[in-house]
Structure 1
């Protein structure tokens, strides 16, 4: 079993905001890459028709996701008017404090938090 945390949020793109949102998410992805060395992956996806956005990140452990919310969190409010958050799904065990932080994010952006506990499995990470 692994300590990895996988985060997936899904939002509806507000009408007329796709271009602005794509630019904002490009900036956010660059910021995360530069400022969060422990994050394994941070990817932004848009549906073919541009009405839905999904953000997927993979963290080495809970502290990595907590650090992401602390460091990137101040960059979320300007994105709020561009989307309607539907879900934040977390795959892996989280602390009570992290669950509260995720709930706070839904207070800002809307949506619900769904936490999936790991039952079985493993993770392979290529040697650096």
Structure 2
């Protein structure tokens, strides 16, 4: 079994766009829930000032991340007017194709950095 991938991105909410961001987060979460049953977790967060949006996703493997990019590409573009993405951090061993697609997404949404972190120690327990 492949190790899961942990995806975390952070974005600045554009001035005056908070209500639109909240609606877009809800819409995208519903869209993903209906189309990607393989995802382990997919959560949006706002910080206490509601100026930073964070997305945390747990994919069972790199193929899941690539599928997510295929399915959600058009939806991601809808965030371009709402946020400025600062960073994407990916924890695990993604395919090169997945990393390249994340770099394109990061550029489209504000020029964010993409950093891949490889596991050095630890474990995951299976869920039931």
Query: Is TM more than 0.5 here?
Result: yes
In structure 2, C-alpha distance between the alignment counterparts of 1:32 and 1:96, rounded to whole Å: 23
Return the alpha-carbon distance in structure 2 between the equivalents of residues 49 and 103 of structure 1. Answer: 28
In the TM superposition, 1:56-95 aligns within 5 A as: 56-95=56-95
Could you tell me how far apart the structure 2 residues matched to 1:78 and 1:97 are?
Answer: 23
Corresponding position of 2:118: 117
Q: Pairwise CA RMSD of aligned residues?
A: 1.2
Q: Identify the residue that residue 99 of structure 1 maps to in structure 2.
A: 99
1:31 aligns with 2:31: yes
Cα distance in 1 between the residues matched to 2:67 and 2:2: 19
CA shift, 1:2, in A, is 5.7
Unaligned stretches of 5+ residues in structure 1 = none
Indicate conservation of the 8 Å contact 2:38/2:64, yes or no. yes
Question: Which aligned segments of 4 or more residues in structure 1 are displaced greater than 3 angstroms?
Answer: none
Give the secondary-structure state (helix, strand or coil) at the position aligned to 1:79.
Answer: coil
- Between the aligned partners of 1:113 and 1:63, the Cα distance in structure 2 is 18
Instruction: Give the paired residue count.
Output: 127
Determine the structure 2 residue equivalent to 1:126: 127
TM-score normalised by L of structure 2 = 0.95
1:89·1:115 contact (CA, 8 Å) conserved in 2?
yes
Deviations 1:58-94 (A, max 9, x none): 0000001111111011101111110000000000011
CA distance in structure 2 between the aligned counterparts of 1:126 and 1:90, rounded to whole angstroms: 21
* TM-score, with length taken from structure 1: 0.95
